[in-house]
Amino acid sequence: MSGIFYDPSAHCLRAVQTAPPHDWTLVTHNLDASINLCRRILREWLTPEEINRVDWSTLDRGIA
């Protein structure tokens, strides 16, 4: 399943083209999603403290 996934151990977002690790959570199937969209989605299930710990730079780099 492709999409942008949240990697909880690294506190960052990662693009996935195949099957992600079982503990990663799907954020969106849109691989071109903006930081604002991802934040809005993550706010549904992460606490404000956890949101502040997310490394958003992967989105700035195109999520390698």
Task: Evaluate if residue 16 carries a pLDDT over 60.
Answer: yes
d(C-alpha 49, C-alpha 6), whole Å: 15
d(CA 26, CA 16): 10
Q: What is the pTM of this model?
A: 0.84
Tell me the average pLDDT of the chain: 89
Between CA 45 and CA 64 the distance in angstroms is 24
Domain boundaries, given as residue ranges, for the chain:
3-60
pLDDT of 62 higher than 60: no
Q: What is the pLDDT of residue 64?
A: 45
